Chains A and B, each alone.
Chain A
Amino acid sequence: MAPRPRYELVLEPGRAERHYWLDLWRYRELFYILAWRDISVRYKQTVIGVTWALIQPLLTMLVMTVIFARVAGLRSEGSAPYAVMVLAAMLPWQFFSSSLSSSSQSLVSNAQLISKVYFPRLIIPVSAVIASFVDLLISFVVLLVMLIWYQSWPDRRIVVLPLLMLLAFLAAMGPGLLITALNVKYRDFRHVIPFIVQFGLYVSPVGYSSAVIRDRFGDRIFTLYCLNPMVGIIDSFRWAILGGDSPIHLPALALSIVIVLILLMLGMWYFRRTEKTFADAI
C-alpha cells in the first residue's frame, strides 16, 4: 500500500516543531477554555461574584486619590478629575500586574496538565493573560460610570484604545513567558513577582501624572524612567481616555513599544527553547 500523505510527526531530540503553529491553531479553543476556567473558578462559592472585579480598582482608586491628591497635593493632568486620571492608569496597571503574576505562576500551577497531556504549552500562560484581560474589560464598566459621573467625555482618540490594550497585553506576555519558563526550573521566580508588582506600582505613573516626574527631575531622569515600558503605555491610556489636554509623549511610547517587543522576543525564545523539558523539570 502506498503511504498516504497525511499528518506526519517526527519526534527527535532537539527537533524544531514543524507543526507548532498549526497545533496552536488546532488547540485554539483551549485558550479560551482555560481562561474561562480560571475566571469561573475565581468566583465560585463567592456571594458577590464578579463584583469583586469592580471593587478592587474602585477602592485602589479611592486610596490613591486621597493619598496623592489630598495628602501629597499633586495635580491632575489638564482638567481631568484626579480620580478619573488615576482610574485611567489603574486599568492598564492592574491588567499588567495581574497578568504578570498569573502568567508567571501558570506553568507551575498547571503542572498536572503538563506532565500528563500534550498541547502547545504556550496556551497556558497566554490563557492566564486572557483571563486577566476579561477582568480589564469588566473594570472598564467602573471607568464608564466614572466618566458619566464627571461628565467627562472622551474624544475620538478613544479608538486607539484597543491598540493600546494589545500593547499592554504584549507587555505582560513577554516577561510572563520568560518568568513562567524560568519558574519551572528555578522556583526563585515565584518570589520575584510580588516584588516587581509592588515596586512597579510606584515606578509607574499610576497614582500620579508622569508630568510630575519630568517637572521635578528633568528630561534625563525622565528618559530613564521611560525605560519602564508601562510608563508609555499608561500615559497613552490617559491620553486616549481623558481627552482634551492630556499630553502624549511619543518618544516614551516608542521606547515602550521597543522594550515590549524585545521582552516578548526574549520571552518567546526562552519559552520555546525550554518548553520540551517542562514535563521533566516541573
Chain B
Amino acid sequence: MPTRSDGFPIISIENLGKRYTIRHATDRTPGSYRRLSEDVADAVRIPFRALASRLGGASVESARSGSRTTEEFWALRGVSFDVSEGEVLGIIGRNGAGKSTLLKILSRITEPSEGRVRVRGRVASLLEVGTGFHPELTGRENVYLNGAILGMTRAEINGKFAEIVSFAEVERFLDTPVKRYSSGMYVRLAFSVAAHLEPEMLVVDEVLAVGDAEFQKRCLGKMRNVARSEGRTVLFVSHNMQAIQSLCDRSVLLDQGRVVAEGPPRQVVDQYLARTSSHTGTRHWNEGEAPGDAAIRLKGIRVSSSRDGRPGIVASKDDCFVELEFIADTTNPGLCVGFDLANAEGTTVFRSYQTDSSPDRWPTLKRGDNRWRCTIPKGLLNAGTYSLNPRIGIHNVQWIVHLDDVLQFEVLLDHGDSPLWNALTESNRPGLIAPILAWEACADEGPRAAVARPR
C-alpha cells in the first residue's frame, strides 16, 4: 500500500459497519415518520399476536395482515483502511455503495453500528456546500453563520473575511439577502467559506458536482492547494474520475458497503470503470433486427483505440476508431455512411461521412459485407461520455438509418504533452472539444506587416 513513508495513520478504520433498519410497510406509506401510536399499538399487538398464533389457525393470518416487517440493511460493512497524514484519499463507488455513509461516520454525523474509527486531529467536513445558509440573511451574515457552523471562531472569520468575499466575488452584494442571489453567487459564497477552513483533515463529498465548469475548476484548484501546499489530509468522494486521478495519492473503491479495491488512483479508477461501465465498445444486431432496408443493412458498430484498453474507454492521447459493419446490395455512389458523435448533454459534436473527402479517397463499397473504419484523431475530444448515432442515407434522397444512442463510450482526457496542460490542472477543458492546435510566432515579413506598410 503506497503511503507516504513519514506518515503514521491519522485516521484508522477497523472493521467499520453501519446498519440501517428498513421497515417494509404494508399499511402505511413508506418513508413516513413513526407515530407514537404505532409503537403503542405494536406493544399491545405483539403479545396479542403471540397469543393468537398459539391458538393457531386462521386468526394468525388476520393478525399478520396490516403488520410491518423490518429488514436489516448494511450500508457499510467490514471496512478497514488507514489514512496517513498529508495523504489525499479518493473514495469512489457507485451511488449507494456506502461512500456518503462512510463520510458521515468520519465527520461524526452518525454513529457506526460496529467497528471502530480512530481519528487523530480535527476533522472539518464538507458534505454539502452552504449548509445552514439562511435565505433571509445577508451575504455578510451568512458568512459568519456558516463559518460558525463549520467550526470557525468569530476571530478566524474576521481575519479571513476579505479573502472569503473576494474569492466568491460577491463584494457588491454583501448586504443583500442571499435569497436574492443568483445560484452561482450563492454557491460561490458558500464554497468560499468552506474553502477557508483550516482543519487538520478535510472530508469532502461531491462538492464539485455543483456549479459551472469554471467554478468546479476553482474548487479543484483550491482543494489541490489545501492538499499539496498546506500538506493537509483530505478525504474526497467524487464521481469525477479525472479529479480523483489528478488529486489523490490513493483511492479506495467501495461496492455494496465493502472495500473492493485500494491502491493507486489510476488502477482503482480502472477497476471502477470496468465494474460500472456498461460500455462494451460494440453493438451488434441480429439478423432480422438490423436497422436498414433492402439496399443496406447495418450489422454492427464498434469503438476501439490504437492502444488495447478496456472496451468502450478511450484515452484522448490515442486515436479512436469507429468501425461500421454493414451488408450492402447496392453500389449507389450517393450512399453516405457515417455517424453523429453526441456528448452527454445530447449536443452533436460533429457528423462524419465516408464521402466527406475527395472521391478517390472514399472506401470502396462492395456488394455484400463491408467493414469501414473512421479515425477520430488523438488530441481532439474532450473528456466525457459520448454516444454514437449512426447515420446512413442516400445523399439528398432519403435516410436509411437514423438512430440515436446506439453505443456509448467514455473519453479520458490525457492528450496534452504540455507541462502546463495535464490532468493535474484540467480534468476537462471548457468547450465541446479539446483540440491541440498549432501555434507559432509570425515572421516579421508576414501578411499583417505587408498590409500595414504604407504605399
How distant is the Cα of A118 from the Cα of B148 in the complex, in angstroms?
Answer: 12
Residues of B within 8 A of A44 (CB): 136-137, 177
A279–B8 touching, CB < 8 Å: no
B178 CB to closest chain A CB, in angstroms? 12
B118–A8 touching, CB < 8 Å: yes
Whether a CB of chain A sits under 8 angstroms from the CB of B33 is: yes
Whether a CB of chain B sits under 8 angstroms from the CB of A119 is: yes
For window 80-125 of A, CB contacts with B under 8 Å fall at: 112-119
Interchain pairs with CB closer than 8 A, number: 114
B72 CB to closest chain A CB, in angstroms? 13
A280–B20 touching, CB < 8 Å: yes
For window 1-29 of A, CB contacts with B under 8 Å fall at: 1, 3, 6-14, 26-27, 29
B130 CB to closest chain A CB, in angstroms? 10
How distant is the Cα of A118 from the Cα of B127 in the complex, in angstroms?
Answer: 10
Residues of B within 8 A of A145 (CB): none
With contacts A27-B151, A112-B131, A113-B132 known, is A10 near B117, CB below 8 A? yes
A280–B122 touching, CB < 8 Å: no
Whether a CB of chain B sits under 8 angstroms from the CB of A41 is: yes
B137–A13 touching, CB < 8 Å: no
Whether a CB of chain B sits under 8 angstroms from the CB of A75 is: no
How distant is the Cα of A280 from the Cα of B20 in the complex, in angstroms?
Answer: 8
Residues of A within 8 A of B34 (CB): 185-187
With contacts A1-B8, A3-B8 known, is A276 near B118, CB below 8 A? no
| Contact pattern, B 105-133, Cβ under 8 Å of A = 1, otherwise 0 | 11111111111111111110101100110
B134–A41 touching, CB < 8 Å: yes
B36–A11 touching, CB < 8 Å: no
Whether a CB of chain B sits under 8 angstroms from the CB of A45 is: yes
> Counting chain B CB atoms within 10 Å of each CB, which of A27, A33, A45 scores highest?
A33
Whether a CB of chain B sits under 8 angstroms from the CB of A277 is: yes
How distant is the Cα of A14 from the Cα of B113 in the complex, in angstroms?
Answer: 8
B153–A29 touching, CB < 8 Å: yes
Whether a CB of chain A sits under 8 angstroms from the CB of B150 is: yes
Residues of A within 8 A of B107 (CB): 117-118
B131–A117 touching, CB < 8 Å: yes
Closest to A182 in B: B36
Q: Which of B108, B110, B120 contacts A8 (CB 8 A)?
A: B120
A186–B35 touching, CB < 8 Å: yes
A33–B148 touching, CB < 8 Å: yes
Whether a CB of chain B sits under 8 angstroms from the CB of A188 is: yes
How distant is the Cα of A263 from the Cα of B128 in the complex, in angstroms?
Answer: 36
How distant is the Cα of A119 from the Cα of B120 in the complex, in angstroms?
Answer: 17
> Counting chain A CB atoms within 10 Å of each CB, which of B20, B109, B144, B145 scores highest?
B109
Closest to B114 in A: A13
Residues of A within 8 A of B127 (CB): 116-117
B148–A30 touching, CB < 8 Å: yes
Q: Which of B35, B115, B137, B149 contacts A119 (CB 8 A)?
A: B149
Whether a CB of chain B sits under 8 angstroms from the CB of A40 is: yes
With contacts A8-B118, A13-B112 known, is A29 near B154, CB below 8 A? yes
How distant is the Cα of A277 from the Cα of B34 in the complex, in angstroms?
Answer: 14
Whether a CB of chain A sits under 8 angstroms from the CB of B404 is: no
How distant is the Cα of A1 from the Cα of B10 in the complex, in angstroms?
Answer: 12
16 contacts between A and B (CB under 8 A): A1-B6, A3-B8, A8-B118, A8-B119, A13-B111, A14-B111, A30-B148, A44-B137, A113-B149, A114-B109, A115-B109, A117-B132, A119-B149, A185-B34, A186-B33, A186-B35
Besides A10-B119, A11-B106, 17 other CB < 8 A contacts? A3-B8, A6-B121, A8-B120, A9-B123, A10-B116, A12-B115, A30-B149, A33-B144, A41-B134, A41-B137, A116-B128, A117-B132, A118-B107, A118-B108, A118-B109, A119-B151, A186-B39
Q: Which residues of A contact B (CB under 8 A)?
A: 1, 3, 6-14, 26-27, 29-30, 33-34, 37, 40-41, 44-45, 112-119, 185-188, 276-277, 279-280
